[in-house]
């Protein structure tokens, strides 16, 4: 059996995912690949500035569905979550995470200064450098202030949005703040994920890109999960071969899987 569980998958419970992305449909793919289990990580973004996405998951129901699947399946069925960080909602985030027995928590930043990246509001009246610098500062503030998570999601995600000619960032320019972020994550025994969705979105790179993976390794990082950020079943497990070769190039020979919020490592 293949122990490399995709640790970033959205089902129809996430409003930006394919309504046909049923948990059972993912399980069919998991079995085809001989993977030992799944980790569902649907979105929770409290105080979402885009009202169209304001529809929090009913976790009583969600957890009941997970428990039902666990009864019928011999695979590991992980209940994870991708929780959106904003500084003013830390206590609301913590109370959800304390209420349900999550296996895994991805902390992601999808909004900055209460402005959405997705609809472009965050980028208005700013230069590209101002938006990227502000984004990395928000990530640094988040990891310094907040500890209720296991891995930080798609660390250089800001390049997905913004109508710039070249979305790629000059790594050397942002390395000082990226190093600061990674040091805090390593010091607090948290992790990052290698998210392959950038390849699907035509960015030509994973989140984060190889240079960041190398710095994470050099700074002592050991906790790293692998995720497709699937929003439809066909996205599941996409570009994992390339991701594994990038991890090896960065010096990793293991990736992390989670259960009950506890990490363990498997060889790649
Ligand atoms: Zn995300
Ligand atoms: Zn996601």
Cα angle 64, 65, 67; round to 5: 65
Q: pLDDT digits over 207-242, tens only?
A: 999 999 999 999 999 999 999 999 999 999 999 999
Domain 23-267: which CATH class? alpha beta
Q: Are 16 and 231 in contact (CB under 8 A)?
A: yes
Q: CA 108, CA 262: separation in Å to the nearest integer?
A: 19
Task: Give me 61's structure tokens.
Answer: 């129901």
Q: How far away, in angstroms, is 48 Cα from ligand 2 center? A: 15
Query: Where along the chain do its domains lie?
Result: 23-267
Q: pLDDT digits over 63-91, tens only?
A: 999 999 999 999 999 999 999 999 999 99
Q: Which residues are near ligand 1, the ion (C-beta closer than 5 Å)?
A: 108
Instruction: Please state the pTM of the whole predicted model.
Output: 0.97
Residue 132 reports pLDDT greater than 70: yes
117 alpha carbon, closest ligand? 1
Q: pLDDT digits over 229-238, tens only?
A: 999 999 999 9
The predicted structure's pLDDT at residue 102: 98
Total residues found in the chain within this entry: 268
Task: Give me 33's structure tokens.
Answer: 């690949």
The predicted structure's pLDDT at residue 213: 98
Q: CA 78, CA 41: separation in Å to the nearest integer?
A: 9
Q: How far away, in angstroms, is 135 Cα from ligand 1 center? A: 14
Q: How far away, in angstroms, is 244 Cα from ligand 2 center? A: 19
The predicted structure's pLDDT at residue 168: 86
Q: pLDDT digits over 83-112, tens only?
A: 999 999 999 999 999 999 999 999 999 999
């Amino acid at each position: 059996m293949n122990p490399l569980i995709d640790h970033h998958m959205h089902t129809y419970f996430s409003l930006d995912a394919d309504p046909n992305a049923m948990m059972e449909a993912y399980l069919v793919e998991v079995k085809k690949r001989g993977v030992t289990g799944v980790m569902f990580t649907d979105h929770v973004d409290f105080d979402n500035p885009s009202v169209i996405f304001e529809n929090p998951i009913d976790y009583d129901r969600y957890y009941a569905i997970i428990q039902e699947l666990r009864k019928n399946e011999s695979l590991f069925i992980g209940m994870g979550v991708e929780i959106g960080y904003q500084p003013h909602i830390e206590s609301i985030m913590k109370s959800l995470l304390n209420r349900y027995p999550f296996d895994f928590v991805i902390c992601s930043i999808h909004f900055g200064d209460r402005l959405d990246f997705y609809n472009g509001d965050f980028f208005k009246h700013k230069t590209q450098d101002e938006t990227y610098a502000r984004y990395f500062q928000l990530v640094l503030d988040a990891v310094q202030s907040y500890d209720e998570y296991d891995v930080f999601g798609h660390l250089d995600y800001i390049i997905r949005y913004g109508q710039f000619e070249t979305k790629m960032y000059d790594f050397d320019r942002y390395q000082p703040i990226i190093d600061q972020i990674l040091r805090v994550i390593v010091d607090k025994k948290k992790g990052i994920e290698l998210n392959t969705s950038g390849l699907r979105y035509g960015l030509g790179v994973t989140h984060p890109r190889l240079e960041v993976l190398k710095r994470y390794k050099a700074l002592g990082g050991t906790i790293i999960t692998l995720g497709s950020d699937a929003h439809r079943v066909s996205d599941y497990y996409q570009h994992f071969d390339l991701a594994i070769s990038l991890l090896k190039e960065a010096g990793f020979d293991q990736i992390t899987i989670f259960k009950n919020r506890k990490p363990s490592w498997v060889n790649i």
